[in-house]
Chains A and B, each alone.
Chain A
Amino acid sequence: MTAEGRDQRPPRPTHDELEAIAAGATMSSQVLVYLRDWDEDGSVNEELKKLEKDQDFLVEFIEANRDRVKGPAPITEQQAPDGYEIIRELDRGGQGVVYLARQLRTKREVALKMILQAAFTTERQQQRFQREVELVASMNHPNIVTVFDSGTTPDGRLFTAMEYIKGVPLDRFRIHDQSEDGRVPDLREQIAIFLKVCDAVTSAHLRAIIHRDLKPLNILVDDEGEPHVLDFGLAKVVGPEAMTDSVMAATAAGEFMGTFAYASPEQVSGDPELIDTRTDVYALGVILYELLLKSRPYELGGSINDMIKSIMDIQPIKPTSVESDFDRDLETILLMALSKDINRRFQSVRDLADDLENWLAGRPIMARRDDSIYVLRKYIRRHRLPVSLAAGFILLLIAFAITMSVLFAKVTLANNRLAGTLGMASEVIASADPENNEKALTATTAVDMLESWSSVVNEDLADEPEISIRMFNDLGESFIGFDRYDQAEEQLLNALEAMDSLQQGPSREQARALHNLGRIAYKRARWDEAYASYDQSLEMQRRLQDMSPNALAKTLHHRGATLRKLGNAPAAQDDLQESLRIYKTILDNAQTEAEEIRVLGERNSVLNTLALIHSVDEPELAVTYYNQAINELRTKQDDLEIPDWRIGRLLHNVALCQLRMGELEQAKASLESSLYIKEAGLRQLEEEAQAADNDDIGNRLQLANSRYAMSTVLHRLGDMENAWNNAEQSLRIRALVLDATHPKVLDSRQQICELMLSDGDVDGAIAELELLRPMRQARTGNSTQLATMDLLRGRAYLEIGEHVEAESALESAWTEFDRRNQVDSARSTAAMLAKSCLDRGDEAMAQVWRDRSVSVEDGTISDDDGSP
């Protein structure tokens, strides 16, 4: 007990306070001090303990009886902050509930906003909230709603008290005239009001306050036509990240779509570092677009993936496509505000406002159109190189959380039993990263989150199949994205089971679940199973009323690829051709450039699979498919300097076909182009530092594949120096990222043996091959790869006249090739055996082998298959 403490004996905590603390409210420092230093007889501590025990028991009790009693009181009925008296509820939504209240001290009416937030308000969050509110309260602008006060309610929730504005949201404002309802403001009037909003936002920006959640609902227009911007900075403090908790909370009131519609690409990127004042420019752009055109710049809908992709990728519908006589300059201004690229936007709200004023005054505008090539280039840059996996999925998770809470919120309206789940959802989000930068969301924590979601969906949505089905499907797809096939399968089966229970017959979601089960089987190399799933999915899709051509084409593509793996080339071709035709139709009717690019990408992948079917037996035909794919990609590529990774892969495959046709020079040229593209692409990834390590590994391995193929080609062409070079580079990359006995590493080491053989270093080659053989055998057992190695060993022993060793190696190679019906390889092995027998004078045996032989050819290179 300190002397100072003795001087300031705090009041004995009231029963009221103790009850609140037992129920989870934060303890004030006064109570803390009392309990620690002043509770001489321990009675208060004991009382608190008893209350806590009661509380624990009651929580359990209420939980068990949830559906038998009226649900927990809505947040509205809970306690008002000290010094306020609630008059009535004004609005529910955004981040919480807003009441009309009276501040007792000043007798003035205020809007009291209680922040809807689950019980994870930490002391630090409260401090941050206070700081931010103080900052906002320091602003004094006629178009910004003044904040008077803020604090924590007795039960631990945050609140702000602000100026009460009698007004309507910006998009519902009407100008008074003789008519009863007033009239909609005309274009110039809309812009005039909007300019005042811009002025308010600019004034906040000058104090380094970013709004982050601008939307018509946050801009109230009073009878005089004066806009008042609400909730400055709240998005930042309410949640650790702008787009997580604030949106989460908003979703509870069913405003999810509303809030998401104004989110900028950098906001959905999940990286709060990227958000700056230009984020508000974007939101203002959406608001103005909607005001002037009565529609949104792009539709948000479909699966979570679709929604994020839309915000990231879909270019706004041109205003002139909505209203053909829309002013072109105004269109340019809107599109510039809505640029996906933060650097191509107006760099400040002031700039946007200035240009609108230019337009109003009939002066030339400053905004410039994003030329389509530029847009395209940005798009391709992002998509041609495999995008960072982790980044993409963080978005997915956040969006998933949001959707979850929306759906839960919907259910809650009808079913009180689910009331608690929203809080749980917030907990998952909060546990992902409250304030802890150390614990950034990695793929592992992402999977953890997915698992948490799974159990929430499983346990709490068991009685809501209509909702859970989509969630299961989304979860399944996400798990596939992280290569967690077991979990993915479980979710997809859940989806199917839930659909069974509904007994509504075939549906899109059912077809989707089956398609994804097919993907899992494909990834696990269970071709029969994959085929069955794709087949059922297709059959179902064809019976659907609202069939999606995109989904159909995709499933056809996948079934085709599976048929290829099953060795049924004709059926595979049928599927792939049909898929191509459907994509063609979609392409012809494509509305936006982004859609064209996407469909071209899909076609590209189908053409690649189609080519692969023919790459061994009819390499000429395969090359025509590859070229078609390359040409299609190039039609959408104006700037040839930017590497398109996909073209790099296709060229690699073309080279392999050319190699099979014996067109060595052409193969070399193709590989050179492929290598050029891949290396430039990797450099670019490094510069942009956007590649997560895992992606980088994948890209590097593809580069190694081309180096490997290049070495083979150059070897054949007799360019030993460069063949060595390429082989060593390939090995270096593979050895760095793969483990020592990985087949690809062994391939590279074997390639080096071949080069050694050609250089006359037979002993060296044999020593290395004898070292490699057991590794290969251990890894793959008897296989084509092992046979190929034996063939090489045989060749090496033959060079130094070791006939016994040579023939033993060659015979085991031949047996394997023959067993696998690999005619060409078997023949060339037989030819070599014949030569060995002849060398040692066994004419009869030589004849046997000669009969089995024809010509020598190589076939050890793997194609780069763009398997789905």
Chain B
Amino acid sequence: MVDIERTTTALLEGLFDHKNEAAWSQFDARYRPIVVAFARKLGLSESDANDVAQETVFQFLKEYREGKYDRDRGRLRSWIIGIARFRIAGIYRKKGVKREYRGESAMVTMPNEDECSKLWENERRTVILRMALQELRATTKSHDRTMKAFEMVAINQVPVATVANDLEMTQQEVYLAKSRTAKRLRTIIEKLDETYDENAT
């Protein structure tokens, strides 16, 4: 679970400490899913993407502890993307060899830096939206009618009248539950966005 109270800057400081398991696993929890999704979007299979993500996070940690990460080289995001791209290109190459073996062109084009960056941004957003749901669920009592009404109306698209009937609420209350929860979600997402401050150094 992502600790939304901890900014990335704080996290990075913790990473220097070899014994700081918490910082390490927190960092992993934050970035690995994005790298996986990113690699998937670039055409890798599920297992390849997982491998790439694991290697990327490790490599980052290694380089970071070796002090190779300096703010002049760019933002955290570009650094991770750089590592991931290199790994993905390696997999492409392996595939390319297989292609050549089949008598086909080995050329596979990797998106350029800008495109990668955009892709990353999209995947990050998705990961955050997903985490937001986890966070919302984790911080809500399971019998909370507001949450239930929200899930039914907004997520499962059950007609308001039915929800009201099922949960013994008025339709007005159902609408209110929906907009309240949407607002809460938005706050969580903003918070998550901050913790993912990739300008951190």
Beyond A65-B133, A517-B104, 7 additional pairs, beta carbon < 8 A: A50-B179, A62-B155, A68-B130, A71-B156, A77-B159, A77-B162, A496-B102
A462 touches B130 (CB 8 A): no
Known contacts A54-B182, A77-B157, A493-B99: A60-B130 contact under CB 8 Å: no
Q: Is B71 in contact with chain A by the CB < 8 A criterion? A: no
Among the listed A19, A54, A64, which residue makes an inter-chain contact with B130, where contact means beta carbons less than 8 Å apart? A64
B129 touches A60 (CB 8 A): yes
Among A57, A61, A496, the most chain B Cβ lie within 10 Å of the Cβ of A61
**B-facing residues in A44-76 (Cβ within 8 Å):** 50-51, 54, 57-58, 60-62, 64-65, 68-73
B103 touches A532 (CB 8 A): yes
Closest to A64 in B: B129
21 A-B pairs in the complex with CB atoms less than 8 angstroms apart: A16-B160, A19-B175, A58-B182, A61-B133, A62-B154, A62-B155, A68-B130, A68-B133, A72-B156, A73-B157, A73-B158, A77-B157, A78-B157, A462-B40, A493-B99, A493-B104, A496-B102, A496-B104, A497-B95, A532-B102, A536-B103
Q: Is A15 in contact with chain B by the CB < 8 A criterion? A: yes
A533 touches B158 (CB 8 A): no
Known contacts A19-B175, A58-B182, A69-B133: A77-B151 contact under CB 8 Å: no
A78 touches B159 (CB 8 A): yes
Say how far B139's CB is from chain A's closest CB, in angstroms: 16
B105 touches A489 (CB 8 A): yes
Known contacts A61-B185, A489-B105: A73-B156 contact under CB 8 Å: yes
Q: Is B132 in contact with chain A by the CB < 8 A criterion? A: yes
* Residues in A neighbouring B98, C-beta threshold 8 A: 500
Say how far A519's CB is from chain B's closest CB, in angstroms: 13
Q: Is B172 in contact with chain A by the CB < 8 A criterion? A: yes
* Residues in B neighbouring A15, C-beta threshold 8 A: 171-172, 175
Q: Is A514 in contact with chain B by the CB < 8 A criterion? A: yes
The distance in angstroms between the C-alpha atoms of A71 and B156, with both chains bound, is 6
The distance in angstroms between the C-alpha atoms of A68 and B105, with both chains bound, is 39
* Residues in B neighbouring A19, C-beta threshold 8 A: 160, 175
**A-facing residues in B115-129 (Cβ within 8 Å):** 125-126, 129
The distance in angstroms between the C-alpha atoms of A760 and B129, with both chains bound, is 86
Q: Is B186 in contact with chain A by the CB < 8 A criterion? A: yes
* Residues in A neighbouring B129, C-beta threshold 8 A: 60-61, 64-65
A65 touches B155 (CB 8 A): yes
The distance in angstroms between the C-alpha atoms of A252 and B163, with both chains bound, is 27
Say how far B14's CB is from chain A's closest CB, in angstroms: 28
B160 touches A529 (CB 8 A): no
* Interface residues on chain B, size class: 35 or more
* Residues in B neighbouring A16, C-beta threshold 8 A: 160, 171
Say how far B156's CB is from chain A's closest CB, in angstroms: 5
Q: Is A867 in contact with chain B by the CB < 8 A criterion? A: no
Contact with B along A317-344 (1 / 0, CB 8 A): 0000000000000000000000000000
**A-facing residues in B144-197 (Cβ within 8 Å):** 151, 154-162, 171-172, 175, 178-179, 182, 185-186
* Residues in A neighbouring B20, C-beta threshold 8 A: none
Say how far B103's CB is from chain A's closest CB, in angstroms: 3
Known contacts A64-B126, A497-B95, A501-B45: A536-B102 contact under CB 8 Å: yes
**B-facing residues in A496-547 (Cβ within 8 Å):** 496-497, 500-501, 514, 517, 529, 532-533, 535-536
A514 touches B179 (CB 8 A): no
Say how far B37's CB is from chain A's closest CB, in angstroms: 10
The distance in angstroms between the C-alpha atoms of A72 and B151, with both chains bound, is 11
* Residues in B neighbouring A489, C-beta threshold 8 A: 105
Q: Is A725 in contact with chain B by the CB < 8 A criterion? A: no
**B-facing residues in A1-46 (Cβ within 8 Å):** 15-16, 19
Among the listed A58, A68, A497, which residue makes an inter-chain contact with B154, where contact means beta carbons less than 8 Å apart? A58
Q: Is A860 in contact with chain B by the CB < 8 A criterion? A: no
A69 touches B156 (CB 8 A): yes
**A-facing residues in B75-113 (Cβ within 8 Å):** 95, 98-99, 102-105
**B-facing residues in A444-465 (Cβ within 8 Å):** 462-463
Q: Is A624 in contact with chain B by the CB < 8 A criterion? A: no
A-B pairs with the 3 shortest C-beta distances? Answer: A532-B103, A64-B129, A73-B157
Q: Is A822 in contact with chain B by the CB < 8 A criterion? A: no
The distance in angstroms between the C-alpha atoms of A468 and B129, with both chains bound, is 28
Q: Is A415 in contact with chain B by the CB < 8 A criterion? A: no
Closest to A20 in B: B160
* Residues in B neighbouring A501, C-beta threshold 8 A: 45
* Residues in A neighbouring B125, C-beta threshold 8 A: 60, 64
The distance in angstroms between the C-alpha atoms of A497 and B40, with both chains bound, is 14
Closest to A78 in B: B159
* Residues in B neighbouring A68, C-beta threshold 8 A: 130, 133
* Residues in B neighbouring A72, C-beta threshold 8 A: 156-157
The distance in angstroms between the C-alpha atoms of A533 and B158, with both chains bound, is 53
* Residues in A neighbouring B158, C-beta threshold 8 A: 73, 77
Among the listed B104, B132, B161, B179, which residue makes an inter-chain contact with A61, where contact means beta carbons less than 8 Å apart? B132
The distance in angstroms between the C-alpha atoms of A497 and B96, with both chains bound, is 10
